[in-house]
Structure 1
């Protein structure tokens, strides 16, 4: 299956270190070679990069590894195709507008017998079950709320929609509108929060380390969310199946669990 990487911070931060290790899973330490993508929020805008080539060899991915784009919310994805051909339009993350803001979504898993009725402005461009689910989620949120609701209401609505889609299969995903990052687990998802006092971190997939104490300030706080831990000397916390966590300013501010049974 695919792999996910997300970052949520209280101050704009680059993801070069984590993305370097993550990209290794697209052909060197993993088999996720069917495309990749990353989206960086900057204010109300989004820098969105996708490529149908593997992240390990993509020239566009090389740019991300070398250019320290700073953002408070980042969603990245490396793909192992299951539903939908290997093509640019099927690369995650996907981007749509809702309530005057961009929303970004990336999914890991398979949805079986999933064919929701789409009646609004959100239609898939590609052929993945992932983009179909994203369109249905935004359609449902738009039908419930004419404008962005309070965060607690939004959290509950996203939890309900996640529970419904999860009845069709594996639904690990990340979703963000640039103010919060939602992370939902069906099978595998981990997170950690880096904050003062910062320490040295060593990648699992590449011979590379960073002393975060030398590149941060005491007030910085960074939450990293990933399918499998990226470093081998930090403590990662595993999500529970059916768990939705909401991250704001580098902290998990809300968590809820729905009854989860993996579809077969």
Structure 2
């Protein structure tokens, strides 16, 4: 299965520490070597990097590790191809425009015989079940709301839509429009919220540690979501199967955290 990484913060933050370990899962500490991608939100737009090669050996991944792009919402994905060949157009995260905002989506899992009816503006460019699911979600969101609704209302709509996709198989996904980060787990996903007082952390996949207290202020708050924990000395919280969560300004929105089975 693929690997997911998401970050949501209350102030623009770089993801270089987490990404340094995450990228190793793309062909070095794991066998996911069929492409990767990462998206950084900047206002309503997103800066997206995609590469059909292995993340562990990618010059683009090395650029991301060394270039501290700051963003409040980041989504990254490492692919293990199951549906669709190893091509650039099949690399996650995918992006679409809706209500004048860029939406970014990445998926981990397999959707069996998934061919939703797409009759609107959203159609896949590549061959993956993941992009088909994203297009369907965008189509149904556009049908449900005439304009951009508040985050809480979007969460309620997603809570109705996501189980209709998840019943076709494994559907671990990350979604963002630059305002929030939505995360849904079918099988495997976890998260951590880092805030004052900050501590040290060491990566699972690379011999690298950081003292966050030296790089943050007491007001900073950062939520990180990953397929499996990225660090070996922090307490990550696993998602329950069928759980949907939304993070805003680095905080889990408790009223919107629900379980849908």
TM, length-normalised to structure 1: 0.97
Partner of 2:154: 154
- Unaligned 5+ segments in structure 1 are 260-264
Superposed counterparts of 1:101-140, under 5 Å: 101-140=101-140
1:241 shift after superposition: 0.2
Give yes or no for the alignment of 1:14 onto 2:14: yes
RMSD across aligned positions (CA) = 0.6
Superposed counterparts of 1:1-264, under 5 Å: 1-253=1-253, 254-259=256-261
User: d(CA) in 2 for partners of 1:223 and 1:145?
Assistant: 28
1:150 shift after superposition: 2.4
User: d(CA) in 1 for partners of 2:5 and 2:232?
Assistant: 16
1:174 shift after superposition: 0.0
- Unaligned 5+ segments in structure 2 are none
User: d(CA) in 2 for partners of 1:144 and 1:237?
Assistant: 32
Secondary structure of the residue aligned to 2:245 is strand
Q: How many residues are matched?
A: 259
Secondary structure of the residue aligned to 1:213 is helix
Secondary structure of the residue aligned to 1:11 is strand
Runs of 4+ in 1 over 6 A off after TM superposition: none
1:135 shift after superposition: 0.2
1:152 shift after superposition: 2.0
User: d(CA) in 1 for partners of 2:155 and 2:83?
Assistant: 28
Cα offsets for 1:184-240 (capped at 9, x unmatched): 000000000000000001000000001000000000000000000000000000000
Secondary structure of the residue aligned to 1:146 is coil
User: d(CA) in 1 for partners of 2:48 and 2:107?
Assistant: 16
Cα offsets for 1:61-83 (capped at 9, x unmatched): 11001000000000000000000
User: d(CA) in 1 for partners of 2:127 and 2:6?
Assistant: 24
Cα offsets for 1:45-96 (capped at 9, x unmatched): 2110000000011111110010000000000000000000000000000000
1:113 shift after superposition: 1.6
Cα offsets for 1:96-122 (capped at 9, x unmatched): 001100000000000012111101010
Cα offsets for 1:13-50 (capped at 9, x unmatched): 00000000001111111011000000000112211000
Secondary structure of the residue aligned to 1:103 is strand
TM, length-normalised to structure 2: 0.98
User: d(CA) in 2 for partners of 1:205 and 1:44?
Assistant: 33
1:151 shift after superposition: 2.2
Secondary structure of the residue aligned to 1:56 is helix
User: d(CA) in 2 for partners of 1:28 and 1:100?
Assistant: 39
User: d(CA) in 2 for partners of 1:227 and 1:151?
Assistant: 24
